[in-house]
Amino acid sequence: MSRGILVTGAAAGLGRAVARAFAERGERVAVHYNSNSADAEATLESLPGNGHVLVQGDITAEPQRIADTAEEALGGVDVLVNNAAVVTTTATAHPPAETTFEHWQQVWRDSVAVNLLGAADVTFCVARHMIERGARGHIVNVGSRGAFRGEPDHPAYGATKAALHAMGQSLAVSLAPHGISVASVAPGFIATERVADWLTGERGDALRAQSPFGRVAEPGEIADAIVYLAAPGSTWASGAILDLNGASYLRT
């Protein structure tokens, strides 16, 4: 029987690739989005199979409604992928020496609200549904290489992704008695439409040169790893943080 999958921030980019990867394997997907309805509908229409739904909501303000809506629409959420995030774009850059204090404060507060607190709240609400149903569920957090190597132009991003990893490891222990596994992925740079301009010119060459493979990741490569961590046979990976950066950063 197919499972119910909730992917936050699934309107485009990596979230869209994750939704497709699960749908291609016969799962039923709740495509969550906040404001980008056109892209979310395009994602929904692109999914193979049946039983997929749209779930709209702000994870910072409506986590319970998002979780409840997905739970009812899918007949139970068996897998949660925490993908929604304030990501690293030119607009969200905030190096201390080059930004205003007002912008610094705004990006930090937005990043903490979405990347950490929003993910934590949705996780709580979904996990409680899993516990009530006695479901052996899976939660996968989308972290970042930046949590380990640092993000000098986007320190709030690196810090909140590090916190997300830590949250995942704590919950891996506390939710294991309920049969729920929790793991994280830590991708490097991913070639999504939102950052396509970063891959042009000298900046693009520098990004590709970070990996000895001479390229950046495709969204589908990260999505496949997330599918693995959410597979029924992957419970023993609970607590793991899986590096997906093409050997561009090696932890010891």
**Annotated catalytic sites, by residue?**
157, 161
178 closest CA partner among 220, 222, 139: 139
Secondary structure, 3-state, 119-168:
HHHHHHHHHHHHHHHCCCCEEEEECCCHHHHCCCCCHHHHHHHHHHHHHH
Taking the CA atoms of 131, 137, 143 and 147 in sequence, report the sign of the dihedral they define. positive
Residue found under tokens 């999504």: 192
Interatomic CA distance for residues 154 and 226, integer angstroms: 24
C-beta neighbour count of 208 within 10 angstroms: 17
